[in-house]
Structure 1
Amino acid sequence: MERFVGRRALVTGAGKGIGRAVAVALSRAGAHVVALSRTQADLDGLQKECPGIQTLCVDVGDWEATEAALNKVDDIDLLVNNAGIALLQPFLEVTKDAFDRSFSVNLRAALQISQIVARKLIARGAPGAIVNVSSQASQRAVLDHTVYCSTKSALDMLTKTMAQELGPHKIRVNSVNPTVVLTEMGRRNWSDPQKAAAMTSRIPLGRFAEVADVVNSILFLLSDQSNMTTGVVLPVDGGFLVS
């Protein structure tokens, strides 16, 4: 069903995993997609899969480069802030570089890119939808994830404050908060059966999320089917956060 015909969408972190799948799904649903990644080879592969997708290679952790790149992009109606990194360190070993890099990519980039997109939407009096990709780790402490958990908690609050201030302009803002997702990286990081069992035992549905589970939630929040939904932090976690 081509429910995004005539819409222009920007997806960050679109080279791999969830971001790539969202970009492909939006394109197949009729949107004109701008896929942003810091890795040109990933973007080249994406464009071969979906030739209609426009690609943009930039490191969103670089404020000036991101602003310059997005100034060349036409108006955007839908934004998915998916770019993120996980630099895992025990609390007592957290470094300044890991802290600064994590917050610049996981939080500051979402703020900056949303500002750019929202300002253009407001200037032309158009409605819009923004989805921030957060994590269940925003609400549960995880060993060695001090900085990652902190960035995602901050991203959830950014979602809520954006929803409050942008709502009068008919711009909806929500986040999705997945459990472990079985991307290529997710499968690799959770390949140890004992480690995986310790986590899935805390998930009422008894499994990790497939990429499609997260993509479907993102597309719902971008679509007109959720046009009375804003400021929501939506768990896609099989019930992990209720236990």
Structure 2
Amino acid sequence: MMQLNFHGLKALVTGAGKGIGRDTVKVLHALGARVVAVSRTNADLVSLSKECPGVEPVCVDLGDWEATERALGSVGPVDLLVNNAAVALTYPFLETTKEVFDRSFNVNLRSVFQVSQIVARGMIDRGVPGSIVNVSSMVAHVTFPNLAAYSCTKGGMTMLTKAMAMELGPHKIRVNSVNPTVVLTAMGKHVTADPEVLRKLKERHPLQKFAEVEDVVNSILFLLSDLSASTSGFGILVDGGYLAS
């Protein structure tokens, strides 16, 4: 079997401070990549830099277009991009405000557009191949209470992934997504705070379990690597079989 090896490659990971993003940075770093870690929480970047010496921290709120342009506009050559940053603002559909809607779309979808443009332009200018992975969710395909705005951003991400794959494919840039079920990170626990709802939801998964962070990271690594050289424009479900049921 081919071994994963990212030596000589530079990766950029957004939402790198916690959860899936943080573990993705740690594994990419261990596998030899130079990693740019983007988070809006500086304390998380400080601790991550101690854990992974050599990681390049960038502190910026990706919901702010101008600040993102300043922070990442001159990031330099990037070969691998993981668009993981997201906010899950939980409100019933009827109580979702303009602010909640705009914040959700600005962080979860618009930043993917912007950061991918910056990185892809650099790849094309250098004439090198690349791989972009968008961290989505199974709620791109199924509904979940109080996540109307969040789910719309992930549904939009499905089409953005396809559109990017189509337009960037001729430049040897692959674009895919991973679509996990609930992962019990800080964000996942926030979304599923009611233990009874959590129990019933888990039982609806054929595998009777949620996804581990490691499961999601492994799928990200597969899509970033040459092991998935002919895969583009698609999403890997890491959903414990949920969509099959």
Same fold at TM > 0.5: yes
Q: Percent same amino acid at aligned positions?
A: 60
Deviation at 1:186, TM superposition (A): 2.6
Find the residue that maps to 2:57 and give its secondary structure. strand
TM-score (normalizing by structure 1): 0.97
Structure 2: where are the runs of 5+ without partners?
Answer: none
State how 1:116-127 maps to structure 2 within 5 Å. Answer: 116-127=118-129
Structure 1 stretches of 4+ with a deviation exceeding 3 A read 187-193
Cα distance in 2, alignment partners of residues 237 and 37 from structure 1:
26
Find the residue that maps to 2:156 and give its secondary structure. helix
Q: CA 1:188–1:60 in 2, change beyond 3 Å: closer, same or farther? A: closer
Q: CA 1:168–1:240 in 2, change beyond 3 Å: closer, same or farther? A: same
Deviation at 1:214, TM superposition (A): 0.2
Q: What's 1:129 paired with?
A: 131
Are the equivalent residues in 2 in contact too, given 1:26–1:33 (CA < 8 A)?
yes
State how 1:23-172 maps to structure 2 within 5 Å. Answer: 23-172=25-174
Cα distance in 2, alignment partners of residues 190 and 31 from structure 1:
34
Between the two proteins, the alignment pairs up a number of residues equal to: 243
TM-score (normalizing by structure 2): 0.96
Are the equivalent residues in 2 in contact too, given 1:35–1:54 (CA < 8 A)?
yes
Structure 1: where are the runs of 5+ without partners?
Answer: none
Q: CA 1:192–1:142 in 2, change beyond 3 Å: closer, same or farther? A: closer
Cα distance in 2, alignment partners of residues 92 and 194 from structure 1:
24
Report the residue type matching 1:78 in the other structure.
Answer: L
Report the residue type matching 2:143 in the other structure.
Answer: A
Q: What's 1:233 paired with?
A: 235
Deviation at 1:79, TM superposition (A): 0.1
Deviation at 1:192, TM superposition (A): 4.4
Are the equivalent residues in 2 in contact too, given 1:121–1:128 (CA < 8 A)?
yes
